[in-house]
Amino acid sequence: MAKLIGKRGVGKLMAAVVLAYSAFAALPAAASAGTTSGSGLMPIEDTCRNNGGGGYVSCNGRDPEEMNCGQKSTVASFTSGNRVTVYLRYSASCQAYWTKYYNPYGNTGEARIKGATSTFGKTLAAYEGESGWTRMLSAAQNPKPCMFFKHSAWGWVEDCNGV
């Protein structure tokens, strides 16, 4: 009977088997960490926080509803020149602001949240009773709510109502 593998070969083979087993054993634990979507391989962030850090992702540019930003409150509100009611909303849990709006007459325009270095807007769909919101900005951006619209006498106007 012929010798198939030497002593050194057996040691290398055993090391390779142990390494391969360790790699495959770790896969299910890594794949199941956190909430997943679709095929179960893409993680979903449950919430965000201010500028990120501490295991959280930044809230800048994120949807407040998708990011589960509870503890919402209205900080300020005004009715813009195009008769759309604009609200500055804040979430303590996400430490972020966004603009919410109510468009009772179906007017055109764009709701905006303006910060020190970033602005996010949402174009109004212009139907009666429409409501919606913008993406969020971190509290560090010191954001304010605005409405951008075409005024009949002045042309395009950005109304932030001194907020």
Check residue 93 and give its pLDDT.
Answer: 86
Is 137 inside any structural domain?
A: yes
Residues 56, 57, 59, 65, Cα dihedral to 10°: -80
Is 45 inside any structural domain?
A: no
Q: Domain total for the chain? A: 1
Q: Which residue has the tokens 């409405």?
A: 147
pLDDT in tens, 54-80: 666 688 899 999 888 877 899 999 999
Is 101 inside any structural domain?
A: yes
Contact by Cβ (8 Å): 153, 78: no
CATH value at residue 150: 2.60.40
What gap in Å lies between CA 61 and CA 141, rounded to an integer?
Answer: 12
Q: With residue 9 as reference, give the H or E element that holds it.
A: helix 7-31
Is 54 inside any structural domain?
A: no
Is 2 inside any structural domain?
A: no
Range of the domain at 96: 72-159
pLDDT band at 19 (very low <50, low <70, confident <90, very high): very low
- Tell whether pTM > 0.95: no
Q: How far is CA 106 from CA 34, 82, 83, 96, 127, in A?
A: 42, 10, 9, 28, 4
Among 1-15, 50-64, 117-131, the range of highest mean pLDDT: 117-131
Is 20 inside any structural domain?
A: no
Is 98 inside any structural domain?
A: yes
